[in-house]
Amino acid sequence: MISNIAFTYRSIYSKKAMTGMDSTNVYAYTSIIALFFCIPPAIFIEGPQLMQYGFRDAIAKVGLVKFLSDLFWIGMFYHLYNQLATNTLERVAPLTHAVGNVLKRVFVIGFSIVVFGNKISTQTGIGTAIAIAGVAIYSLIKANIEEKKRKAAAVASS
């Protein structure tokens, strides 16, 4: 829930920032600001344990070359995903973008169930059902508003 709220606020403020910049520049500035905000607490809170256990254990398990390669590709695909999301935001309203994000999460959950055979908990099932119902209600309301606008425009032009 917090992630969805944060995503929505980021979308709204990113969209407002796009009045003077294109989506690529907004994403670049957002990424740089996030880096400066996240690095100090990450180093302070996780730094010693990450170096001592996380990196060392991962490198021992898969080797340095595979570890660095995987780290590079994960970072690259995550960057491309976020760049695509920001470029999409430039073309649609923040609410539509947020609805798309909810649909993406539902798709990922469904994909993991079908492809990987993951079991879903009752909480996950309820959350997915609420997300699908919310998107359906939003789509119905939006379609109804658009239909009313079309009818009003047709009446005004006649």
Are 67 and 98 within one domain? no
- Answer yes or no: is pLDDT of 104 > 70: yes
Residue 102: its pLDDT value, please? Answer: 76
Question: Mean pLDDT across the stretch 107-136?
Answer: 84
Are 81 and 103 within one domain? no
For the stretch 67-85, pLDDT in tens is 999 999 999 998 998 888 8
Are 79 and 17 within one domain? yes
d(CA 144, CA 148): 6
In the structure encoding, which two tokens stand for residue 74, read together? 């994960």
d(CA 17, CA 38): 21
Are 54 and 130 within one domain? no
CA atoms in the 13 A half-sphere facing the CB of 133: 6
Are 17 and 65 within one domain? yes
- Answer yes or no: is pLDDT of 157 > 70: yes
4 pLDDT band, cuts 50/70/90, is low
